[in-house]
Chains A and B, each alone.
Chain A
């Protein structure tokens, strides 16, 4: 059996956070945003530097 009280930490979709929030769940929202995507040319340069 699953022992202990369920405690959910939600990261990502707001929809599912809100759906869990409507239930009797001890719920915590995790602060998260996707990392900034670098333009491909800059990203390639940085990858190249990493290899040196």
Chain B
């Protein structure tokens, strides 16, 4: 057995690429364990937790490669392989880079300049302020930015008539181009503003599936609908997209008084407001308020004189053999939340790590419970990429649920688009028979993944595939009625 370390000084590469390299190294013959991470104090703890004892004098700005292999030669070769991968995976770093302090000369009158920030959250404030100072709009993908900082940034931006999308904003689509996690959606006249990344993806995809296009989709970040932020950027986004034929706003757990103000703001414009999972449906002026994404899309389709979303005919051709629980394994947090609401509405007592209410909180043990798990939440992404980028952990969890003899239905989402894994079914090949498998695909035929191939792959695995996440969750509830 040989353990070797190698420090690459003064180089920053994000954790997603480093985890991909780690994964590839671990598949090398004779390699027991490998880790390639930036050597921050937090990451050094991760090295220790997996059995390495990293050198004490490593610099935090370095990348540390650690390998535990069968012998010295394999360990040395693996380190060399890692170094080659670092170069290969970051080929684009050979292109010209620009200094953050001096972006002014690169923008011209008539541009819509956007600074996309995906650094660790603790560095965002400084970068964001430099961007705003130079007249740039911001899309902040990073999470863990204090809400006081978010408020300050949004106030500064508002005064300058600039946008701050985020922090914790997964998705934005401008001029048909995807920023972050985004699908390839036809251009059109419907504007979307939302505080829910996968909610925006699902909405835009369903509009596309129904034959409508979008003028833009602006992800304003999870906190925009809190009382503290008071929807500063939702308001600004609505104003910016007001020329759209219709505006759809989507929010997860919006503060009620903030929501009321936004509904009022929208009410003179053909529009829909989706308060995810909320059972109340009503109209206020021109605004249709609902808790479900499909309902808002069907409202838009009806307004445009188009047919509602297609509901596939799926046979109830299964025998549950006494199985009784539903397990939802989601990569999309908003889709997980919506599924819980649908299951609850159908009389199912549903638990989650991201629950509808505190009483239904579970951590990592959901035996004897109905549960929907958001596998993109903090506890599942420590030291690994988000499951939309690397779906293997989530897919392993699906396999685990399928092996249990009391699980009646396994419900899951498949996210396509830029930012998402090219093979979302990676690891599902040997799915065991047992529960009814139910899934939706959030994707279009123009996404970089092959939609038809993914759909065919799911059907080959025996999965019942639905047009939308709402339809899939409704079908899961129907399956449980049969038990």
Q: Whole-angstrom distance between the alpha carbons of A6 and B447 in the complex?
A: 20
Tell me how far the C-beta of B312 lies from the nearest C-beta in chain A, rounded to whole angstroms: 30
A14-B92, A15-B14 known; A9 and B114 CB under 8 Å? yes
23-52 of chain A: CB within 8 A of chain B:
23-25, 28-37
Q: How many residues of A sit at the interface, in one of the four size bands?
A: 35 or more
Q: Whole-angstrom distance between the alpha carbons of A49 and B333 in the complex?
A: 45
In the complex, the answer to whether B12 meets A29 with C-beta atoms within 8 Å is no
Residue of A nearest to B96 (CB): A29
Tell me how far the C-beta of A8 lies from the nearest C-beta in chain B, rounded to whole angstroms: 5
Q: CB < 8 Å: which of B14, B99, B111 contacts A7?
A: B111
Chain B residues within 8 Å of A20, by CB? 116, 177-179, 418
Of the stretches B69-77, B100-108, B376-384, the one at the interface is: B100-108
Q: Using an 8 Å CB-CB cutoff, how does the interface string of B285-298 with A read, 1 for contact, 0 for none?
A: 00000000000000
In the complex, the answer to whether B119 meets A4 with C-beta atoms within 8 Å is no
In the complex, the answer to whether A9 meets B98 with C-beta atoms within 8 Å is yes
Residue of B nearest to A1 (CB): B243
Q: Whole-angstrom distance between the alpha carbons of A31 and B116 in the complex?
A: 13
Q: How many residues of B sit at the interface, in one of the four size bands?
A: 35 or more
A1-B243, A6-B177, A33-B10 known; A12 and B92 CB under 8 Å? no
In the complex, the answer to whether A34 meets B123 with C-beta atoms within 8 Å is yes
Q: Whole-angstrom distance between the alpha carbons of A17 and B12 in the complex?
A: 14
Tell me how far the C-beta of B465 lies from the nearest C-beta in chain A, rounded to whole angstroms: 25
In the complex, the answer to whether A11 meets B100 with C-beta atoms within 8 Å is yes
Q: Whole-angstrom distance between the alpha carbons of A9 and B115 in the complex?
A: 5
Chain B residues within 8 Å of A24, by CB? 176-177
Q: Whole-angstrom distance between the alpha carbons of A45 and B115 in the complex?
A: 35
Chain A residues within 8 Å of B241, by CB? 1-2
Chain B residues within 8 Å of A17, by CB? 92
In the complex, the answer to whether B59 meets A36 with C-beta atoms within 8 Å is yes
A33-B11, A37-B60 known; A16 and B419 CB under 8 Å? yes
In the complex, the answer to whether B41 meets A19 with C-beta atoms within 8 Å is no
In the complex, the answer to whether B40 meets A11 with C-beta atoms within 8 Å is no
Residue of B nearest to A26 (CB): B111
Q: CB < 8 Å: which of B16, B103, B127, B175 contacts A32?
A: B127
Q: Whole-angstrom distance between the alpha carbons of A15 and B97 in the complex?
A: 16
Chain B residues within 8 Å of A25, by CB? 177
In the complex, the answer to whether B16 meets A7 with C-beta atoms within 8 Å is no
Q: CB < 8 Å: which of A11, A18, A22 contacts B116?
A: A11
Let me know if B430 is at the binding interface, CB within 8 A.
no
In the complex, the answer to whether B113 meets A9 with C-beta atoms within 8 Å is yes
In the complex, the answer to whether B92 meets A30 with C-beta atoms within 8 Å is no
Q: 17 A-B residue contacts at CB 8 Å?
A: A3-B112, A5-B175, A6-B111, A7-B111, A8-B115, A9-B103, A12-B116, A14-B14, A14-B17, A20-B178, A22-B418, A29-B96, A31-B97, A31-B98, A32-B119, A32-B127, A34-B60
A interface residues (Cβ-Cβ under 8 A, vs B):
1-25, 28-37
Other A-B pairs, 15, CB within 8 Å; known A28-B98, A36-B61: A1-B241, A2-B175, A2-B215, A2-B241, A9-B103, A9-B113, A11-B119, A14-B14, A20-B418, A21-B92, A30-B97, A31-B98, A33-B11, A34-B60, A34-B61
